[in-house]
A and B are shown apart, each in its own frame.
Chain A
Amino acid sequence: MDTSIAIRDIARKLFDEKRVNLIIGFEQGSIPLHSTPCFVRNASEVDRLIWNANCENNLAKYLPKIKERVGIVAKGCDVRSIIGLIKEKQITREQVFIIGIPCQGIIDRRKIEARLGGEEIMEAEEENDTITLKGHNFKATIKKEEFLHDSCQACAHKNPVIYDTLIRDNVVEGQTVDGYKEVKEFEAKSPDERWQSFSDEVSKCIRCYACRNACPFCYCQECFVDSSQPQWIGKTTNLSDTAIFHIIRAFHLAGRCVDCGACDRACPMGIDLRKLSKKMEMDIKELFHYEAGISLEDVPPLATFNPDDPQEFIM
């Protein structure tokens, strides 16, 4: 059965049984290859819900503000974010009904646009593994797997870890690329090269905070960059301020980030934010043997300690 139809059936059932007041899912966006989050409040609206390979937003972002019972359409990374939010007591497990979707990866519009070289896509039709694109002067069929997001290629948990209902059969897990490859390559450079590369990257930053706003774990009522009393950090695009913003942003996500790639997709300047968060993820795994969003029981690594933690670097 078509995934969109299956989602609608479940949604309708949830409303009929009065199990949720709200369902968060995706609807067709206003341009091709674009799906946009949608909030459905009653059974008559469920036909808006869709599922396709463009449903890229991490919908867990909306959960911390919601106080009622909510159903959510969630792919693998969304579910891992929800686990994090439950652990951080931003939402309760009972409150959220997870409509789990084993995910085959989300396609990266920017990659397709780069391949087309400026041609405007007027129509896109998705079939199993391919997408047929139509424009004014062209028609092309592309393979989905060639245009997946970097975070999707490195994804090791495509199937929802927890769920209340599963929309379709689980997909085969496994990464197509090593997620830490870029981090390791970066580590192999000299310190000065690393600094140069990092500062080139963050000097692009315009401090729009789209990365923060897209992140499901940035739910602080007042972010450290917004605080003016005390003012933790300068609000300018001075390299020093942007560098510190990005260091601390990555640090605040240590042991929490599930590598959904939402920050990376949100960045209008194309800053390689995953190079920072992946390093955090790798270190947390090596130092404290912890992986974020895998279980509801284990304690977040920076909220606990072990008397035998590594301390070779301390004099």
Chain B
Amino acid sequence: MPLSSYDEIHETELNIMENQMPQPEGKADKWEPKIIAFLCNWCSYAGADLAGVSRLQYPPNTRIIRVPCSGRISPLLILRCLQHGADGVLVSGCHPGDCHYISGNYVARRKFAVLNNFLEYLGIEKGRVQFAWVSAAEGKKFAQLVQKITEDVRKLGPATKLVRKQV
């Protein structure tokens, strides 16, 4: 089942943040971006699955959280990822018109447009939080997307703004 309650999603976020990401061999001291991807159950998650069964290679920096719909994503979930140590966040859902719940992604799109502008306005680097549409047939697009966001976030470096520092 996709994660829908806030507690489930947040617990998954925290578990992912706390567990060390696998470090590539011989690069033990090198920083690797941590990226959380919220994928909708019906399209993007299946797209990621297709990338896997097609044996497409993509960087291992992304950790996936499955949600019922991109409309489920509250800006708070995205901000909490950045607060608790994620370097990047990806939100991906069905293409417009393909939503399993008819209009979830349309409503999400308006929310994301406002949020995207607002984060940029406050000075959060462009590319830290990204949005995409990936269908269940687009395994290749998913692999390329992860490639791209990993490179983008690697260029930006570790997240510093919004991170909750221990006092």
Q: Which residues of A contact B (CB under 8 A)?
A: 186-187, 191-199, 224, 230, 232-234, 238-241, 243-244, 247-248, 250-251, 254, 279-280, 283-284, 287-288, 301-305, 307, 309-311, 313-315
Contact = CB atoms under 8 A, between A and B. Distances in A.
Contacts of B53: none
A244 B163 CA distance: 10
Interface stretch (B16-24, B26-34, B59-67, B109-117): B109-117
B76 A224 contact: yes
Contacts, number: 115
Interface of B: 6-7, 10, 75-76, 79-80, 83, 96-97, 103, 106-107, 109-126, 130-133, 145, 148, 161-165, 167
A314 B149 CA distance: 12
Given A244-B83, A305-B103, A305-B109, A186 B121 contact: yes
B167 A238 contact: yes
Given A194-B122, A230-B6, A302-B107, A310 B79 contact: no
A301 B107 CA distance: 9
A233 B110 contact: no
B110 A244 contact: no
Given A192-B123, A311-B109, A283 B114 contact: yes
Given A195-B124, A230-B6, A302-B111, A309 B106 contact: yes
Q: Which 7 A-B pairs rank lowest in CB-CB distance, beginning with the nearest?
A: A195-B123, A194-B123, A305-B106, A240-B164, A315-B132, A191-B123, A314-B131
Nearest to A187: B121
Interface SS, A side: helix
Contacts of B122: 194-195, 198, 243, 247
6 contacts: A198-B122, A243-B122, A247-B122, A302-B114, A305-B110, A314-B112
A247 B116 CA distance: 12
Nearest to A252: B75
B114 A284 contact: yes
Nearest to A202: B122
A254 B76 contact: no
A238 B165 contact: yes
Given A283-B113, A309-B113, 4 more contacts: A194-B122, A244-B80, A301-B110, A310-B113
A237 to B, nearest CB: 10
Contacts of B112: 313-314
Contacts of B115: 251
A193 B123 CA distance: 7
Contact of B114 (A193, A254, A307): A254
A246 to B, nearest CB: 9
Contacts of B130: 315
Scoring A197, A251, A310 by chain B CB atoms within 10 A of each residue's CB, the highest score goes to A251
Contact of B116 (A250, A279, A307, A313): A313
